[in-house]
Amino acid sequence: MADLQIVEKIPLYEQLVNEMARQIAQGTFRPGERIPSVRRTSQQKNMSITTVLQAYQILEDRGVIEARPQSGYFVRAPQEMGSFPEPECSDPPIDPTHVNIGELAIRVVRDSANPNMVQFGAAIPDPELLPTRRLNRILAALARREDIPQYLCGVPEGLEELRIQTAQRMFSAGCMVTPDDLTITSGCVEALSLSLKAVCKPGDLVAIESPTYFVILQALEILGLQALEIPTHHRTGMSLEALRFALDHHPVRAVLVIPNFHNPLGSLMPVENKRELVEMLAGRHIPLIEDDIYGELYFEGQRPPAAKSFDKEGLVLYCSSYSKDISPSYRVGWVAAGRYKKQIEQIKMATNVGTALLPQMAIARFIASGGYDHLLRRIRRAYAQKMAQMSAAVLRYFPAGTRVTNPSGGFVLWVQLPENVDSLELYSLALKARINLAPGYIFSSTPRYSNFIRLNAAYMNEGSEKAILKLGSLVERLAEK
Amino acid sequence: MADLQIVEKIPLYEQLVNEMARQIAQGTFRPGERIPSVRRTSQQKNMSITTVLQAYQILEDRGVIEARPQSGYFVRAPQEMGSFPEPECSDPPIDPTHVNIGELAIRVVRDSANPNMVQFGAAIPDPELLPTRRLNRILAALARREDIPQYLCGVPEGLEELRIQTAQRMFSAGCMVTPDDLTITSGCVEALSLSLKAVCKPGDLVAIESPTYFVILQALEILGLQALEIPTHHRTGMSLEALRFALDHHPVRAVLVIPNFHNPLGSLMPVENKRELVEMLAGRHIPLIEDDIYGELYFEGQRPPAAKSFDKEGLVLYCSSYSKDISPSYRVGWVAAGRYKKQIEQIKMATNVGTALLPQMAIARFIASGGYDHLLRRIRRAYAQKMAQMSAAVLRYFPAGTRVTNPSGGFVLWVQLPENVDSLELYSLALKARINLAPGYIFSSTPRYSNFIRLNAAYMNEGSEKAILKLGSLVERLAEK
């Protein structure tokens, strides 16, 4: 309350001057734009015309705004116009000793929008491999139609046409689902988050892989759930022996796995393990949340089946999206939630009512118009090649003591650095060299992956060899400390 | 496990016949479409070619599919092709005695996509008043540009251009916020849901208005939060005396209000009450979540300020969206979360990473290209008129003992029916007459509004007088029972 009284002592017009100057400095009103009129500001702020005029006069005197006859007040261009700073790169480097995992993860993701960085950080697909032009043209054609009903917004389960296409796609993962079994979501993360809410109550224990995709850890934390990290093998994924032991000794409420081309491990759970996993959980009536976002990105042979394909009890909630092969920015995914479908719909409604309509229509139309299988074949070949290229470069340029996974799908590499190398220090040094990477810390709620990093191979090409060389020299320097 | 053994006894080919027939019956594969080839199905299902052929032969014999030389197997058109049933209307009417509030609410919302019903149910805007054509043209033009970066998907705070436009818009609500204060969300419901997660832990108590928007009740339930329903006045909204009492006696963790044109009440909290509310909570360090989605839809005078305009401590999380005036199906809203902004961003990332990019760009461009104020003036006039028209019709056709609110903004009417009329029975009868409405039950966790209904006036026009007449006669019939 003391603060409030101090504020009261500042004259009203000066308060307004400060507020407007802040708004202009921070870009709410930009150079050349008109600011609200004296009359309007007087109404909004409940100040007299005289007070507002006084404030505007001061701002004019300071060169912040200018009056134009008959038009009102406009923001003036700054006297010395420098070049715009690049917002993210100018941030101070991360301090390895004081870091919040959530903030670190968000920074890795946010930096993925910085075109001036080598994008080995977030697991984003190569834009060159996305059918953006064709997809956007389909969206444009749809948007020019006059008969798209606005009212379809209120359908939490999503567009039927897209659910039909998606049910057909799931056939390739060995899942016999119908369009009515599906709920469209705003991406795979939303599918996972809805699934966790559908099967867990706050305080519940969820068994996950260790390491695992950092957004899963964040989702658990935000929902008030406890994570039980189960050991994994870098080739075969979650250890079923360890899981069975955990189930015998802990009140596990749900299990969340990424059986196909795990992020960050790249592991592929063998078919027999998937069957065993599903049967083990069915016997205990424990739901399984399956993230299959990388399932279509196998490098050779045929599409590995989803764990969902062995689901006879409706206990598997299968989550995926079109973000890795069609468009990350359209934000369209889905969940086949089995017996939890009704709950998922209610939670979807209370989360954001439904997913934006036109992006759903465009993706449905894109798939229906053919060429999707061809696209997938092209993507698979490209990522197989990029992954091989990146592995080779890491082997060439990183110091002895480095280990690297050898995934048969997806597009991320999991790299174990010499034991004394701290991935956060490396991250911090790499940022200065404009290279983004994902430090091991964010893949576990413990610091056990402090000397691991995840590299996104999707952006690997001839030109980024240099970046791997640079990373290698940084690792070497840290290893010698 | 017994089930599994029984399943094993059914021959493999018969299992496949049943699965494929189910997929076709439920629309995964539709008449005229090709089903997966024998070879592909054999791989996916891990069955021999012979088994699959046997199954396909049976399906062909039954007339479900047909082989076409050189092309594969196709789904046949059903022999007798009737007209398609209308999916929602054919549902059995709600049984008033066995109802789950969440399911009921979702049904009211889902029925809003049924073009054959009079839409007095969900609070959806009149499509005729939305700038759909212009907005979609802008989207189409954007989608045809080649330089839209895909990588922008990973920005949880949303597009800067839209945050600038939105900060300017908030000026009209008396809020001096900058673009950096805002997080773009997938609609207002998402803004509310993120806000609840940011300020509450499971088990916490949240004070809300009684009655309130049903999705708020669902969001509380899903997040494991307790609702404390505070009495309201149909003109001035939440009773501050009651709230103060509640705060003195209960460990309230957050307060969630709709001060401007409350849904369903239509109430408008007086300016002095808003100031008092914000100061009362600031004194106790309790965050206020404000839903201002109807704030721009005032019928006369000037834009009522937001409670946020009195926020000096950064304790008010202001939520709104463009769903009532620009587009419900684009799913674009925002939250100005004050001191909780960082948490909101992390939660947004763990909820769905970010909001779809192109809809954000289109709305930013729409506002920047001018005419938004003109659009709002037109909408305000139209809803004022529709509301008056609906009120008059209710007064004319509903029996004595009915009471109705007289809101000065928004587009919903809250109607108190004679005491012995059950709104669920009315809802059920109205559905048979193809009229959708929102029964009072869904606006509280108690049955205290059993004889209330909410009517959406946005769809009111000359033609819908008849529907009000019909509703009136149904109410009369129920009142006489």
From B320, B345, B370, the end of a domain falls on: B370
pLDDT score for B48: 87
Q: Where residue B70 sits, what CATH number does that domain have?
A: 1.10.10.10
Of the residues B370, B401, B419, the one at which a domain ends: B370
Residue numbers in B near A189 (CB within 8 A): 349-353
Same domain as A467, residue A418: yes
The total of other beta-carbon atoms located within 10 Å of residue A85's CB is 8
* Residue A108 and residue A24 share a domain: no
Look at A154 and B112 and tell me if their CB atoms are within 8 Å. Answer: yes
Of the candidates A361, A185, A154, which has an alpha carbon nearest to the alpha carbon of residue B127? A154
Based on the domain organization, do B125 and B217 belong to the same domain? Answer: no
Q: Is there a single domain that holds both residue B361 and residue B225?
A: yes
Q: Is B184 part of a structural domain of the chain?
A: yes
Question: What pLDDT was estimated at residue B57?
Answer: 87
- On whether residue A88 sits in a domain, the answer given is no
The residue ranges of chain B whose pLDDT is under 50 are: 1-8, 80-92, 96-97
Residue A90, in any domain of the structure: no
Residue A457 makes CB contacts below 8 A (sequence gap 6+) with: A383, A386, A387, A389, A390, A411, A412, A413
- Is B89 a member of any domain? no
Outline where B290-338 has alpha helix (H). Answer: none
- Buried/exposed A398-435: b ≥16 CB within 10 Å, e otherwise: bbeebebbebbbbbbbbbbbbeebbbbbbbbbbbeeeb
Pairwise CA distance, residues B321 & A427, whole Å: 37
Query: pTM above 0.95?
Result: no
Q: List all residues of chain A from 357 to 396 with a beta carbon under 8 Å from chain B.
A: 357-359
The verdict on a CB contact (< 8 Å) between A150 and B327 is yes
Point out which residues pair with B227 in neighbouring strands. Answer: B206
Rounded Cα distance, B44 and B174, in Å: 60
- Dump pLDDT digits (tens) for B182-240: 999 999 999 999 999 999 999 999 999 999 999 999 999 999 999 999 999 999 999 99
Same domain? For B71 and B158 the reply is no
Q: Does B92 fall in a domain?
A: no
Same domain, A204 and A349: yes
CATH no. for residue A436?
3.90.1150.10
- Are residues B387 and B364 both part of a single domain? no
Cα–Cα distance between A142 and A159 in angstroms, integer? 14
Q: Are A339 and A364 part of one and the same domain?
A: yes
CA distances from B211 to A453, B225, B231 (A): 51, 17, 8
Per the structure block, which two tokens stand in for A74? 């406009």
H helix intervals, B172-270: 188-199, 214-222, 240-249
Q: Which of A370, A389, A423 is the last residue of a domain?
A: A370
Q: How far is B416 from chain A (nearest CA, A)?
A: 26
Pairing mode, strands A118-120 and A316-321: unpaired
Residue carrying structure tokens 């059995």:
B92
The answer to whether the CB atoms of A222 and B347 lie below 8 A apart is yes
3-state secondary structure of A414: strand
Per-residue pLDDT in tens (0 to 9) along chain A, 481 residues? 334 344 446 788 888 888 888 888 888 888 888 888 888 888 888 888 888 988 998 888 888 888 888 888 998 876 543 333 333 333 445 554 455 788 889 889 888 888 889 999 999 999 999 999 999 999 999 999 877 765 555 588 999 999 999 999 999 899 999 999 999 999 999 999 999 999 999 999 999 999 999 999 999 999 999 999 999 999 999 999 999 999 999 999 999 999 999 999 999 999 999 999 999 999 999 999 999 999 999 999 999 999 999 999 999 999 999 999 999 999 999 999 999 999 999 999 999 999 999 999 999 999 999 889 999 999 999 999 999 999 999 999 999 999 999 999 999 999 999 999 999 999 999 999 999 999 999 999 899 999 999 999 999 998 899 999 999 999 999 999 8
> Looking at the structure, do residues B16 and B107 belong to the same domain, yes or no?
no
Find out whether the peptide bond into B264 is cis, omega within 30 degrees of 0: yes
Which residues in chain B touch residue A140, judged by CB atoms under 8 angstroms apart? 139-141, 143-144
Which domain, by its residues, includes A339? 148-370
| Contact assignment for A154 to B124 by CB distance below 8 Å | yes
Is A96 a domain residue?
no
Within this chain, do residues A212 and A307 fall inside the same structural domain, yes or no? Answer: yes
Same domain for A337 and A402, yes or no, is no
CATH code, B172 = 3.40.640.10
On whether any CB of chain A is under 8 Å from the CB of B193, the answer is: yes
Indicate if B360 and B452 belong to the same structural domain.
Answer: no
Q: Which of A1, A178, A347 sits opposite B26 (nearest CB)?
A: A178
Inter-chain touch A346–B106, beta carbons under 8 Å: yes
Number of domains, chain A: 3
Task: Determine, yes or no, domain membership for A284.
Answer: yes
Which residue shows structure tokens 């190398």? A421
B81 falls within a domain: no
Rounded to a whole number of angstroms, the distance from the CA of B181 to the nearest CA of chain A is: 10
Query: What is the torsion angle, in degrees rounded to the nearest 10, for the CA atoms of residue A248, residue A249, residue A251 and residue A256?
Result: -70
Distances (CA, A) of A348 to A335, B67, B405, B441: 11, 41, 31, 21
